[in-house]
Structure 1
Amino acid sequence: MEDLIKAIIMGIVEGLTEFLPISSTGHMILTGELIGFTGDRADTFKVVIQLGAVLAVLVLYRTRFLKMLNFNFRKGSGLNALHVAIAMMPASVLAVALHSVIKKYLFGYETVLIGLVAGGILMIVADRSKRPIVAQELDDISYKQAFYIGCFQILSLWPGFSRSGSTISGGMLTGTSQKAAAEFTFIVSVPIMVGASAVDLIGSREFLTIADLPLFLVGLITAFIVGMIAVVTFINMMKKLRLSYFAYYRFALAALFFFIMM
């Protein structure tokens, strides 16, 4: 029962933070330490419940994903699969090349702290930039913008930087509205997270047991439900709140992280 409660707590944290620009990695590490849920089994659990968050985006944006299956790449046809592939490319290539290095050297408390602060600074810079908006809606994003956003996504390979924080900032710095950049982030995150989770699960397969199936299912379902609520809420928040507010939260989290972990 204690493990199931921990699974629910971790699922809530994953669902709430995966798509917000506040670093799900930082929150998961901090929460795991606070409730005593650490080690190889816990690391595998975190990978599994990410798929719950992915499923939330698939359900919410199912019409958009189905539309992209027509593979219409003509200019002016709106967002399509090529936009997603272009945006995925830079970070995916580096993630594959540096996967073992990242896992070995960059998943410590110090690196997460650095990522939280550095990512927050980038978000403030993006929020205060005077770049003219040329892509107000999701379908206005060009292939060139998709590539630039993908380049910014490389920053998310550093734990604590936040995938959504880096890509939303990159979108805003390349002329995409805050809301369109956030939605593009959600869509691009799906294939990337599925691929990353698959790689991690293959490497952690010895920690997957039938006995842990209820634990993993509870965490995954919780992350799915909370993730759906979080995505819808965040999109509405993007219409009203500046990105800087999330940056200030990151700084506060980094301070809390420092005093608890150091």
Structure 2
Amino acid sequence: MELFELIKAFILGVVEGLTEFAPISSTGHQILVDDMWLHSSEVLGSKESANTFKIVIQLGSIFAAAWIFRHRFIEMLSVKNAKSEHRLKLSHVFIGLLPAGIAGLLFDDFIDEHLFSVPTVLVGLALGAVLMIVADLYARKVKNPISVDGITHKQALIIGLTQVLALWPGFSRSGSTISAGVLTKMSHKGASDFTFIMAVPIMAAASAKSLLSNYQYITSDTIWFYIVGFIAAFIFGLLSIRLFLELIGRIKLIPFAIYRLVLVAIIAILYFGFGIGRHI
């Protein structure tokens, strides 16, 4: 492949790594950067190949989260952790995953067919931003918010139910679940930890399922495009997750919500005003 094409793969991997776990919607950024500008489908030869590329780079981000929280996953599998009353357990993660997992199986085809468009993503970005602002305003009234190890099964279920909203493209998985955690009196850091830990198994399963159905689009002619994108997503996923976890306790969610609303305005102007991306 030509160098310029590999640069495109690198840029898309960077965008995925930086946005997948931040509450700003990786879907919205992929539309802005790829569908409206770089057009990976033209490099790879089809829309199906471009969608497969998005699955591959998402796996890069998932691997980054799995690596950062590897000690947590090992800890949750230990007998000692299972007996402790004040530690995050696999049961919390399972309960948090259940609602979105069921909804995803029931409505996956409908979502793919009807909700992946620029207007629906804009709606998701805007509504998700409103939820984040509400969560931050509520958090100001909460004294002594709890950490991830203080989470109850009821809180995990509420967060899991809210995660169903993220099936709407643009809403953002982390934006919805961190907001739900904060609204159930968790700290921003605690809600973020639970969100990232919970995201690894459900996103890995969904990506693996999609990849098994579309692996034929990865050919010897395009393999380096996928490899470069995957590596970029993994490296920048590591950096962005660590930075986000350092910052979230100080800056909270409102700055991210404002950024989302600005992104909505940019995409809306490009799409409705200039017709960029109307083919999507």
* Identity %, equivalent residues: 44
Once the two structures are superposed, the pairs formed by residues 54-73 of structure 1 within 5 Å of their partners are 54-70=62-78, 72-73=81-82
Matched residue, 1:112 = 121
TM-superposed deviation, 1:153: 0.3
Give, in whole Å, the separation in 1 of the partners of 2:133 and 2:255. Answer: 9
Matched, 1:181 2:183: no
Matched residue, 2:44 = none
Give, in whole Å, the separation in 1 of the partners of 2:21 and 2:187. Answer: 17
TM-superposed deviation, 1:211: 2.5
Change (3 A) 1:218 1:80: same
Matched residue, 2:11 = 9
Matched residue, 2:152 = 142
Q: Deviations over 1:110-139 (max 9, x none)?
A: 100000000000000111115635652111
Q: Deviations over 1:74-109 (max 9, x none)?
A: 461400111111100000100011111010101000
For normalisation by structure 1, the TM-score amounts to: 0.96
Give, in whole Å, the separation in 2 of the partners of 1:132 and 1:144. Answer: 18
- The partner residue of 1:193 within 200, 203, 207 is 203
Once the two structures are superposed, the pairs formed by residues 105-254 of structure 1 within 5 Å of their partners are 105-130=114-139, 132=142, 135-254=145-264
Once the two structures are superposed, the pairs formed by residues 38-117 of structure 1 within 5 Å of their partners are 38=41, 39-70=47-78, 72-74=81-83, 76-117=85-126
May I ask how many residue pairs the two structures share in their alignment? 262
Bigger shift: 199-208 or 181-190? 199-208
Q: Deviations over 1:48-78 (max 9, x none)?
A: 1111111111111111110011254446140
Bigger shift: 202-211 or 103-112? 202-211
Matched residue, 2:270 = 260
Question: Any runs of at least 4 consecutive aligned residues in structure 1 with deviations exceeding 6 A, and if so which?
Answer: none
Check conservation: 1:133, 1:176, Cα contact below 8 A. Answer: no
TM-superposed deviation, 1:2: 2.1
Give, in whole Å, the separation in 2 of the partners of 1:175 and 1:209. Answer: 48
Unaligned runs of 5+ in 1: none
Unaligned runs of 5+ in 2: 42-46, 273-280
Give, in whole Å, the separation in 1 of the partners of 2:118 and 2:210. Answer: 20
Q: Match of 1:210, SS?
A: coil
Bigger shift: 2-11 or 155-164? 2-11
TM-superposed deviation, 1:40: 1.8
Change (3 A) 1:133 1:88: farther
Check conservation: 2:93, 2:156, Cα contact below 8 A. Answer: yes
Matched residue, 2:20 = 18
Q: Match of 1:42, SS?
A: helix
